[in-house]
Amino acid sequence: MTCIRFFTHGVVSYAQLGDQRRWLVRAKEHLRTYLQEQQGARTRKRSTTNSFRKKMASSDVSRHMNTIELQLEVTRFLHHCETSSSSTPPLTSSASSTPPLTSSANSPPTLFGPSAMKIDVACKVMLGGKNIEEGFGIAYRVIQDFQLEALAVYVRAGRRLVRQRQFKAVRQLLKCVGESGTATKNDCDVIILSCVSIADKGPTDAKELESLILETKNTENKIKAYLQVSKLRAAYLLAVKLDTARAGPLVQEVLQAAEGVGDSVMQDICCQWLSEHKDADRDRTPPPGAKKQVRPNAR
């Protein structure tokens, strides 16, 4: 639509888009008028019909109006965030955040683009405020209304936060995701593993990463996270608490990690555990062809 093109034409930020909101309001008014005309046309024959309008079903018009309404809300929020950022800086700065998924890097993403651009919008809203809670509600509506892959949005936002060492905000993100009501049990663990994988593994962030890893719910995911930060002893101690069938492959992973960093002590510990439990498994397994002992019936 022409009004939508005018809304985005020549702008490079949401601070500028905020001044263009009148075009969205005008577009919504046009669509509302068209819906009213469609309803009236059911009872009377229209003398003239616009060929463009004939192609739009009422459901499509309503959906487009909902998109415009949500874009207005996004624009109001991000315009406020960008124009007031001097006194209350947003969580992430545009200079150091990751590039958008869409190619039009010179113009801000909007909800009128493809799914990749909508993901950019959701991330931008989630990270645009003073804290995650401030923009999460609007971002969640974007995810739900356009049926975006929620976990992809959360992971992308989490990775941006970790790159800027915003670990407190990552924990806020995990809290919001957990309370959203639609996340699976494993979603927060996936976010944590993704964040840990790209985090700086130096001593500066060691405590923050440890705190983040402790947020994982699944033991195997926690072990994987410890391996990513080279905490081999912690990974080993968690692994050997599991039953042997689950522990074996995990201890093997710890051994491989120890070999990779040249940790001979952990190599010996892992090899000893694997050897002992391999022997124990062999003792419990009857040899091939052995007859199963039948207990005589008591008389």
**What's the pLDDT tens digit per position in 184-220?**
989 999 999 999 999 999 999 999 999 999 999 999 9
Are residues 113 and 249 located together in one domain of the fold?
A: no
Does residue 12 sit within a domain? yes
Residue 89's pLDDT is 66
- The rounded mean pLDDT for the chain is 85
Phi-psi region of 9 (alpha: psi -120 to 50; beta: other; left: phi over 0): beta
Residue 281's pLDDT is 60
Among candidate residues 140, 138, 125, 134, the one with its CA nearest the CA of residue 183: 140
Residue 234's pLDDT is 98
For residue 113, what is the DSSP state?
S
42 has pLDDT over 60: no
172 has pLDDT over 90: yes
Residue 95's pLDDT is 37
Q: Which long-range contacts (CB under 8 A, 24 or more apart) does 235-239 make?
A: 236/266, 236/269, 236/270, 236/273
Does residue 41 sit within a domain? no
Full residue range of the structural domain in which residue 276 is found? 231-280
Paired tokens of 159: 């990775």
Are residues 104 and 237 located together in one domain of the fold?
A: no
Q: How many angstroms separate the CA atoms of 75 and 2, rounded? A: 18
C-alpha torsion sign, points 98, 104, 105, 109:
negative
Are residues 114 and 20 located together in one domain of the fold?
A: yes
What would the pLDDT profile of 107-145 be if each residue is shown by its tens digit?
A: 899 999 999 999 999 999 999 999 999 999 999 999 999
C-alpha torsion sign, points 59, 101, 109, 2:
negative
Does residue 69 sit within a domain? yes
97 has pLDDT over 70: no
Q: How many angstroms separate the CA atoms of 270 and 237, rounded? A: 10
Q: Output the CA–CA distances (angstroms, integers) from residue 4 to 7, 64, 236, in the order listed.
A: 5, 11, 57
- H-only helix segments in the chain: 2-8, 14-17, 21-41, 51-54, 58-83, 115-128, 132-145, 150-163, 167-179, 187-198, 206-213, 219-228, 232-239, 244-261, 264-284
288 has pLDDT over 60: no
Are residues 257 and 111 located together in one domain of the fold?
A: no
Are residues 156 and 246 located together in one domain of the fold?
A: no
- CA angle (100 as vertex; 97, 103 as ends), nearest 5: 145
298 has pLDDT over 50: no
296 has pLDDT over 70: no
| Among 160, 187, 210, residue at a domain's last position | 160
Does residue 198 sit within a domain? no
Band of residue 55 on the pLDDT scale cut at 50, 70, 90: low
Helix (H, G, I), strand (E, B), or coil: what is residue 263? coil
Is this prediction's pTM over 0.85? no
Band of residue 28 on the pLDDT scale cut at 50, 70, 90: confident
48 has pLDDT over 90: no
Q: Give the count of domains, the chain.
A: 2
Are residues 116 and 19 located together in one domain of the fold?
A: yes
Q: For residue 242, with 0-12 CB atoms within 10 Å meaning exposed, 13-18 middle and 19 or more buried, which class applies?
A: middle
Does residue 294 sit within a domain? no
Does residue 245 sit within a domain? yes
Provide the residue type at 13 as one letter.
S
- Arithmetic mean of pLDDT, 56-70: 85
Does residue 217 sit within a domain? no
Are residues 32 and 133 located together in one domain of the fold?
A: yes
| Among 160, 185, 217, residue at a domain's last position | 160
- Arithmetic mean of pLDDT, 154-179: 97
Does residue 165 sit within a domain? no
Q: How many angstroms separate the CA atoms of 83 and 238, rounded? A: 49
In contact, 113 and 103? CB cutoff 8 Å: no
47 has pLDDT over 80: no
- Arithmetic mean of pLDDT, 215-231: 97
106 has pLDDT over 80: no
